[in-house]
Structure 1
Amino acid sequence: MATFTLIPGAGGRAWYWHRLVPELRARGHDTIAVDLPAGDDSAGLRAYADTVVEAIAGRTNVILVAQSMGGFTAPLVCERVPVGLMVLLNAMVPIPGETGGDWWGNTGQAQAMADLAAREGHGPFDAGEGFFHDVPPEVTAEAFAQGEPPQSSTPFAEPWPLHTWPDTPTVFLQGRDDRFFPLDFQRRIVRERLGIPVDEMPGGHLVALSRPKELAERLEKYRVERTSL
């Protein structure tokens, strides 16, 4: 049995994982979806990592799954607790000293997103079409009924504090239909910054909401093939 620890992206809501959690538990795994202190202006990246470490609470056989902005937090956790595998899911990949605010311009994300929109004929990016285009309507309605989650600018202003990425075994999984972080963009960034390949699966930026069963199957495959857990 593994302990899947799930780190959300911007907004920090554990709710993002609510369709994936039962899929992983049905496969016999302990599963923790973490709520981050995203609305707290006093909380930076280390506070986010503290929250994840506290949620793990000494459990073993940890597989860490980090969505989007969670890519800034997950490596900090790996420096503090034993992690058998880190799965970066549609994630941001920082380099030492880079702030979350600078990441966008440094990587060319806006141009990559605009180029994809031009190729595929999408209009200007908006949350509905950009993030939820492949999420079931009832799940999208539930998300919008909750309102936009607050996200403090504090963690985006801090330089990423590690001097290098941890030596934790790491895989990168990307939704091939992501309109926010396009697949070709992620392949380039991950190759340049981590030197590992990008695996892909169907789905957009929010694959835990749109394709929870397929995502659980992929995570289980990683567990079997990449760990001894």
Structure 2
Amino acid sequence: MSDFLLIHGSCHGAWCWRDVIPALEALGHSARAIDLPGHGEDKTPVGEVTLEAYADAILAAIEAPVVLVGHSMAGFPITAAAEKAPEKIAQLVYLCAYAPAGSVSLVQMRQAAPRQPLLPALEKSADGLCFTVKPDMAREVFYHDCPDAAVAFAIPRLCPQPIAPQATPLAVTERSRALPRDYIRCTDDRTIPPEYQVTMTGGWPDHRVHSLRTGHSPFFADPQGLARLLHDIAGAG
């Protein structure tokens, strides 16, 4: 069985994995999630949050090699962690995530998408250091297919998202590319266009690309299905 470390996306925290962790444990795995700096219970000031700090927080949470799962923007932090210490990672899993290639930033990748469904829901802070998601639009972009109780749980917990980590280019090399890498596309995603998820995985081996028929938050929309898919992915190595 595998040890999963689950990494949240923009504006979220470890709390978003509350339903997936027990589902993975029921399948015989160990699973845990962390708050990245400036998210959830972590009180790092927004102006001090960097992509490197994200990577360091992930690596500090690892003792033995893990299956490292990154949702959405966390595709960058998990890749940055793999570039710094690939020996700590057994496998990378990108869950409807940005899969960096070359030496670009997440902002540049987002701008390259054919559509920008998230942008109308974002509000930039006066100091330009972070953005938040407008509460009245959060369900539409993040949780449209999630149970009402999960949406009520999630929206009050959304936090400001530091911009600096997303504006930082990441040089991707064989240190991370040599690791087993899988991608889970979410076919009804209203945050990262599904067709862009296809573009990002162009050239990936077919057996490394998987699909869920959910929106952007499968951890709430279908936690059991997500856990079963992660179980299968980890078993295939």
- Retained in 2: the 8 A contact 1:171–1:196? no
Deviation at 1:158, TM superposition (A): 1.1
Q: Residues 88 and 172 of structure 1 are in contact (CA less than 8 Å); yes or no, is this contact kept in structure 2?
A: yes
Counterpart amino acid of residue 137 in structure 1: D
User: Is the Cα–Cα contact under 8 Å of residues 131 and 205 in structure 1 kept in the other structure?
Assistant: yes
In the alignment, what sits opposite 1:195? Answer: 204
Percent of matched pairs sharing the same residue: 29
Alignment-derived partner of residue 99 in structure 1: 105
The corresponding residue for 1:172 is: 183
**1:29, distance to aligned residue in structure 2 (A):** 1.6
- Letter of the 1:31 partner, please give it: A
Task: Give the structure 2 partner of residue 152 of structure 1.
Answer: 162
Check conservation: 1:4, 1:30, Cα contact below 8 A: yes
Q: CA deviation at 1:98?
A: 1.1
Q: Where do 5+ consecutive residues of structure 1 fail to align?
A: 115-124
Aligned to 2:114: 108
On the 8 A contact 2:4/2:31 being kept in 1, the answer is yes
Question: TM-score scaled to structure 1, two decimals?
Answer: 0.84
How many angstroms apart in 2 are the aligned matches of 1:95 and 1:205?
A: 21
Distance 1:28 1:127 in 2: 33
Deviates more, 1:47-56 or 1:35-44: 35-44
Distance 1:131 1:112 in 2: 9
What's the offset of the Cα at 1:97? 2.3
Q: Which amino acid aligns with 2:233?
A: Y
Aligned to 1:122: none
Task: Say which of 73, 80, 90 aligns to 2:77.
Answer: 73
Distance 2:226 2:23 in 1: 9
Moved more, 178-187 or 100-109: 100-109
Q: Aligned partner of 2:147: which letter?
A: P
Q: Which has the higher strand share?
A: 2
Cα RMSD, aligned residues only? 2.3
Instruction: Return 74-83 or 15-24, whichever deviates more.
Output: 74-83
Asked if 1:25 is matched to 2:35, the reply is no
Count of paired positions: 211
Task: Write the distance in 2 (CA, Å) between the matches of 1:185 and 1:106.
Answer: 9
Change (3 A) 1:27 1:210: same
TM-score normalized by structure 2? 0.81
Do the aligned residues in 1 keep the contact of 2:190 with 2:216 (CA within 8 Å)?
A: yes
SS where residue 126 of structure 1 aligns?
A: helix
CA gap of 1:102–1:11, structure 2 versus 1, over 3 A, is: same
* Ranges in structure 2 where 5+ consecutive residues have no aligned partner: 39-44, 121-135
Q: Name the SS for the 1:24 alignment partner.
A: helix
Counterparts of 2:138 and 2:117, CA distance in 1: 18
Is 1:139 aligned to 2:150, yes or no? yes
Q: Secondary structure at the match of 1:179?
A: coil
Moved over 4 A (4+): 111-114
How far residue 153 of structure 1 moved from its aligned partner, in angstroms, is: 0.9
- Post-superposition shift, 1:163? 4.0
Amino acid at match of 1:44: T
Match of 2:217? 206
Within 2, Cα distance between the matches of 1:89 and 1:15?
16
Q: Which amino acid aligns with 2:98?
A: M
Q: Distance in 2 between matches of 1:150 and 1:177?
A: 25
Shift of 1:76: 1.9
**Change beyond 3 A, Cα 1:76–1:92:** same
